[in-house]
Amino acid sequence: MSFLNGLQGLNLFLRFILEVCALIVAGYWGVKTGNSVLMKVIFGIGAPLGIAVVWGTMGSPKAIIQLPATVHLILEIFVFGLPIVLLLFAGKVGLAWIYGITLIINKTFMYMWNQ
C-alpha cells in the first residue's frame, strides 16, 4: 500500500465522519429547537432520520437511486452544508467553521483523487 493510497483511504474515512457529524448536528439542532419535550424528540430524531434516508437512497456511493452528476452535487451541498447552517442557528459558530473548513478540504481531495 502506497502513501497516496493511505491518504486516499484516510480521506474517505473523513468523509464518513463528516456524514456522521451531519446526522449528529441535525439531531442536536432538533433537540435545541423543539419547544416541548415531544417536539424535541420529533425534531431530534426526525431531522437526522430524514437526512439519512435521503442521503442513503440518493446520495451515498451505494445509493439505490443514482442521480445525474449535477443533481447529486446539489444534494451533496444540501446534506453537507446544512450542518453549517444548523450549527450557526444553534449558536455554535466555532464548530460551524471547523466543520465547514474540514468539509472543503475533504471535498477538494475527493475531487482531486476522483473519489
pLDDT given for residue 1 in this prediction: 74
Q: List the chain domain ranges.
A: 3-112
Rounded to 10°, the helix 93-112/3-33 angle is 150
Stated as kind and residue range, the H or E segment containing 23 is: helix 3-33
Question: What Å distances lie between residue 24 and 6, 29, 70, 108, 110, CA to CA?
Answer: 27, 9, 26, 23, 22
Condensed to tens digits (0 to 9), the pLDDT of residues 73-100 reads 999 999 999 999 999 999 999 999 999 9
Number of other CB atoms surrounding residue 25 within 10 Å: 24
Termini Cα distance of the chain: 17
Residue 47 has phi, psi (to 5 degrees) of: -65, -55
**C-alpha–C-alpha distance, residues 94 and 106, integer Å:** 18
Condensed to tens digits (0 to 9), the pLDDT of residues 1-33 reads 799 999 999 999 999 999 999 999 999 999 999
Query: The C-alpha cell of 63 is what?
Result: 445509493
